[in-house]
Amino acid sequence: MNIVVCVKQVPDTWSEKKLAASDSTLDRAATDPVMNEMDEYAVEEALKLQEAHGGEVTILCMGPDAATETVRKALSMGADKAIHVIDDGLHGSDALATSLALAKAISKAGGFDLVLLGSESSDARMSVVPAMLAERLGLPQLTFAKEVTINTVDGATKISIKRLTDDGYQVVEASTPAVVSVVEKINEPRYPSFKGIMAAKKKPVETYGLADLGVDTGEVGTAGAWSKVESFEAAPPRQAGTVVTDEGEGADKLLEFLASKKFV
Amino acid sequence: MAEVLVLVDHTDGGVKKVTAELLTFARRLGEPAAVFVGSGFDTAKESLAQYGATKTYVADGDDLSSYLVAPAAEVLAKLVSDTTPAAVLLASGAEGKEIAGRLAVKTGSGVITDATDVTADGGTITAEQPIFGGSTVVRSTVTTGTPIITVRPNSVAAEPADGAADKVDVSIELSEAAKGARITDRVVEEKGERPELSEAAIVVSGGRGVGSGENFSVIEALADSLGAAVGASRAATDAGWYPHQHQVGQTGKTVSPQLYIAAGISGAIQHRAGMQTSKTIVAINKDPEAPIFELVDFGVVGDLHQVVPALTEKVKARKG
């Protein structure tokens, strides 16, 4: 089972995120970059599937030079090799452009049974790239998986997931190849071992530019975006509220407040 | 006036509240036309008419509800091509956003998710979204194709309006690609009278301070006294105290109810990302330094195990 795992480098959740005034894109220089947390679960799931079913795990990351750190982290967890899609023309790409570049890279590399990724990135939080990838690749979409099961029936590989829903889960089945996105309760990602970190330095990382993917610069980046930020501003700060210390009458005061707002 | 397509969010014809909100927004932009995919239109028709749907495009058939996400995107893509609407509005849940994403690829259109306001000025449709957990507000337009916009529940008070909601049949032959992911089972893990988390007007959430799964009964009791949904912080779902689908925050649900009550939740940035845009915020926490108190309209520094049950009794007594 050959698996490609898409990983994204994002600002640390605890860093303050701002849009750059110049082009309304995320000011990444102002934040500490880390691997998107949900993608760590995807890497872990890929490694577990590899342990059970064999094959190779390839990391696919689109991002600037600095994203090399995220690629290395995924390799140090145990993935075999990586593809880094890197091109100045990609700066400011929206979800549509990102899914285009990823789909082209996946098709170019070829030979995958599964495309795995996290179900949301912590910076944009749109949760649309997995579905867009499935659409672009013409593959079944198995998204928001909290459990992944692989079965081989009569030589054909079937994949089944439990998809998290509002009131429980759905069981969704498909044949491979397929696109699978995972949620964070699916496993416990391993920490890279010292040996893993050392080995990662020698693992092959191939780089693709837009020209290698046959993607025109007008299709991606800020130039290729199909939506446009017209204006933005910091949300107005919340008005400081009332905080009381409970000395037996906390519930009464709370009730009074709720009544004053007509909630009770 | 051009049509604005609204994808109906429903379970077997039971229409979710967010659909009425989408129809309310759609009236500002053009002529609201509902799109109903799956079975149960007869049940749904009245509530669509009440909120001003002029007609309802209905795509019915077993295939449409047997496969994940892709069929609804194909139905909408066909309608976008046949009727050239001014915009397509969908609910900003996991499924609505995925349908929107596929539709955007299919129709070569820009997509905006998690909008909390949608306005039209001349021919230009602008969507407002809070980003970075609500710290920044962005106004965007779609510049290519048909604007595809997903709107968060509770973004507008639904306004009733007269509409016929008459059925217009849509016949569609699903592509093989749309039949790739088959739904073979739907498991409901809990069934109750509580409203759904993302749509609820009031949410009561518990966190680390609740202390155990059993103790969540005090959170549930307060929620029930207020007719609220129950939420949980990541600390509580990671500990297995409450099911994952109730998680509020980054990697969980984003809610913006009229009232959000956080009990035993410190208010880490992770959690705030999912509830910061709530209209009124109340917190109960033992630690006076907890960051949640920076957000509150009203806070109680105290033990939730005392304050929450006492409040529940008082709310019940008041409601008689």
Report, as an integer, the average pLDDT of B78-82: 98
What pLDDT does A20 receive?
A: 82
Task: Return residues 183-212 of B near A (CB < 8 Å).
Answer: 183-191, 196-198, 202
Question: For the residues of B206-259, what is the DSSP string, one character each?
Answer: E-GGG-SSTTHHHHHHHHHHHT-EEEE-HHHHHTTSS-GGGBBSTTSB----SE
User: Does B192 have pLDDT greater than 80?
Assistant: no
**CA distances for B277 relative to A225, A232, B205, B258, B304, angstroms:** 27, 16, 15, 9, 23
Show the 3-state SS of A201-240: CCCCEEEECHHHHCCCHHHCCCCCCCEEEEEEEECCCCCC
ipTM of predicted complex: 0.94
Q: pTM of the prediction?
A: 0.94
Our separate counts of H helices and E strands in chain A read: 7, 13
Partner-chain residue, chosen from A227, A231, A235, that has the shortest CB–CB distance to B130: A235
Query: Contacts of residue A180 in chain B, CB cutoff 8 Å?
Result: none
- B43–chain A Cβ distance below 8 A for any pair: no
Q: What is the mean pLDDT of residues B43-48?
A: 97
- Confirm or reject contact between B66 and chain A (CB < 8 A): no
- DSSP 8-state code for residue A193: P
d(CA B248, CA A146): 17
**Across A15-19, B54-58, B117-121, B310-314, least confident range:** A15-19
Is A135–B296 a contact, with Cβ atoms under 8 angstroms apart? Answer: no
Residues of A within 8 A of B186 (CB-CB) are 165, 168, 170-171
- What was the pLDDT predicted at B145? 97
Are B270 and B234 in contact, with CB atoms under 8 Å apart? yes
A3-219 to CATH, choices 3.40.190.10, 3.40.50.150, 3.30.67.10, 3.40.50.620: 3.40.50.620
Identify which of B124, B129, B126 has the alpha carbon closest to the alpha carbon of residue B113. Answer: B129
How many CB pairs lie under 8 A apart between chains A and B? 272
Q: How far apart are CA B24 and CA B51, in angstroms?
A: 7
Helix A95-109 vs helix A129-137: angle between axes, to the nearest 10 degrees? 50
The listed range with the strongest mean pLDDT (A13-17, A26-30, A246-250, B129-133) is A246-250
**Cβ-Cβ contacts under 8 Å for A113 (sequence gap 6 or more):** A1, A2, A3, A55, A157, A176, A177
B38 at A interface, C-beta within 8 A: no
Average pLDDT for residues A147-171, to the nearest whole number? 93
pLDDT of residue A16: 73
Q: If you ran DSSP here, which 8-state letter would residue A98 be given?
A: H
Q: Is B134's Cβ below 8 Å from some Cβ in A?
A: yes
Tell me the C-alpha distance between B114 and A212, whole Å.
Answer: 34
Verify whether the Cβ–Cβ distance B69 to A38 is below 8 Å: no
CATH topology of domain B3-179: Rossmann fold (3.40.50)
Bridge-based pairing of strands B124-131 and B117-121 is antiparallel
What's the pLDDT score for residue B191?
A: 62
- CATH for B202-319, among 3.20.20.140, 3.40.50.1220, 3.40.710.10, 3.40.50.620? 3.40.50.1220
Domain ranges of chain B: 3-179, 202-319
Q: What mean pLDDT, rounded, does chain B reach? A: 95
Question: Which residues of chain B does A125 touch, with a Cβ-Cβ cutoff of 8 Å?
Answer: 114, 131, 250, 254, 273
Pairing of strands B280-285, B259-263: parallel
Whether B320 contacts chain A with CB within 8 A = no
pLDDT single digits (tens) A215-252? 999 999 998 999 999 999 998 888 889 999 999 999 99
Check whether A29 has a pLDDT greater than 90. Answer: no
Domains B3-179 and B202-319 share a fold: yes
- Tens of pLDDT along A180-228? 999 999 999 999 999 999 999 999 999 999 999 999 999 999 989 999 9
Nearest CA in chain B to A123: B132
